[in-house]
Structure 1
Amino acid sequence: MICKTIAMLFLAGCLAVSVDAFGISSFGKAHTEPPKPTTTTPSPARPCSRQAECAGISSSSCVRTHYDAITRCLCGDNLPPVNGQCEAQTKALYHVCANSDECNDGLICLTPNITGSAPSHLRVHSPQEKICLCDTENGYREREHTCNDADILKTSMFAVIIVSMLRKIITN
């Protein structure tokens, strides 16, 4: 009986070692790790100092974003072009446009007032070029290279508070 038990333990040990030699543990799992996916980071967009420098990249504009102090040739969604092409359908703040339909919500296509005191990121455009700017007539204001509708948001929050208070009064 003892010999039988020792023989079984020996046989189990040999099987575990031989199976492990083939890359499989005693629990049936392989000791190999799956290949790690390759990570690709988009190459930074080309720096520019004038809109004309971006002419070779269709639908790109020489713009500055809130996360980068350098003006670059970026697509309408503020991402770098891929293989010299832009796929963005609409354009963000400061991008060159022909009409307001090309601009994101809250933006309109206008000729900027570029004077000697204009910020450097606006001086990349010629005085005749139209760019997407905040729609100030509808409450959008420019702040830190983005448009926000803080006035509209404040009004909406005020309305929510009033409605909540009225609802509480009516239910009591």
Structure 2
Amino acid sequence: MRIFWRVEMWCRFQAAAAILPLLFSGWLATTEALTTFGKTNTQAPKAAPTAPPARQCSRQAECAGITGSSCVRTHYDPTTRCLCGENQPPVNGQCDAQHKALYHVCANSDECNDGLVCGTPNITGAAPAHLRVHAPTDKICLCDAENGFVEKEHTCSDADIVKTSLFAIFVVSCIRKVLAY
């Protein structure tokens, strides 16, 4: 019986030893709250730093001073700007993007993101304003129409692959149901 009493006391001691640091830290937090109670916060909240917007442009030649940038319009900004290949503003006048997004100037298709090819845009009188920033001889990253990529709202969508993927998911789920029975 005496052994059980010692074990019980030991367990109580361990529980108290585990709880005491928590109580102490709670007490410290409460005393800190009490010392600031009733004081008014006179400091304005600090705004998160934002990157300055990229320089506006109306011709590709205006971006020539920033290596790797192109005069492009994105889906989230109605203004054409000198942006790096990943549609980000240059940092300290430099672009480090490895690949380029839609409408960026390119020399070959290896420079463009997946689903894009480097080609000459069809710039006619009816061409959208964001394409008229390029000269007729400029090569830019365009949607790869031969592989099913279609331009929609300044991005390339791949409807064929989506349809194929949905069909594949449907077939696999049907096979799983058949095998489950």
Q: Do residues 54 (structure 1) and 63 (structure 2) align?
A: yes
In structure 1, distance between residues paired with 2:167 and 2:106? 35
- Which residue number corresponds to residue 10 of structure 1? none
Deviation, 1:155, is: 1.3
Give the residue type in structure 1 aligned to 2:98.
Q
Could you list the per-position Cα deviations for residues 7-50 of structure 1 after superposition, in whole angstroms to 9, with x for gaps in the alignment?
xxxxxxxxxxxxxxxxxxx7288789xxx988321001111000
Counterpart of 1:108 in structure 2: which amino acid?
A: V
Within-5 A mapping of 1:70-81: 70-81=79-90
TM-score, structure 2 as length reference = 0.74
* TM-score, length of structure 1 as denominator length: 0.78
State the shift of 1:171 in Å.
2.6
Structure-1 residue corresponding to 2:167: 158
Output one character per residue of 1:67-94: Cα deviation in whole Å (capped at 9) or x when no partner.
0101000000000111111111100000
Counterpart-to-counterpart distance in 1, 2:96 and 2:108: 18
> Does 1:100 find its partner at 2:101?
no
Give the Cα–Cα distance (whole angstroms) in 2 for the partners of residues 120 and 110 of structure 1. 18
**1:123 corresponding residue in structure 2:** 132
Query: Which residue pairs with 2:10 in the alignment?
Result: none
Is 1:64 aligned with 2:73?
yes
Residue type of the partner of 1:48?
C
* Match for residue 142 of structure 2 among 116, 126, 133: 133
Q: Post-superposition shift, 1:169?
A: 1.6
Aligned to 2:179: 170
Aligned residue number for residue 48 of structure 2: 39
Cα separation, 2, equivalents of 1:166 and 1:27: 61
Question: How far apart in 1 are the matches of 2:99 and 2:155?
Answer: 15
Alpha-carbon distance between aligned partners in 2 of 1:75 and 1:27, rounded to the nearest angstrom: 50
More helix by share: 2
Q: CA RMSD in A?
A: 2.0
- Which amino acid in 2 is paired with 1:165? C
Deviations 1:119-143 (A, max 9, x none): 0100000000000001111111111
Q: CA deviation at 1:65?
A: 0.2
- Displacement after TM superposition at 1:105 (Å): 0.6
| Identity across the alignment (%) | 69
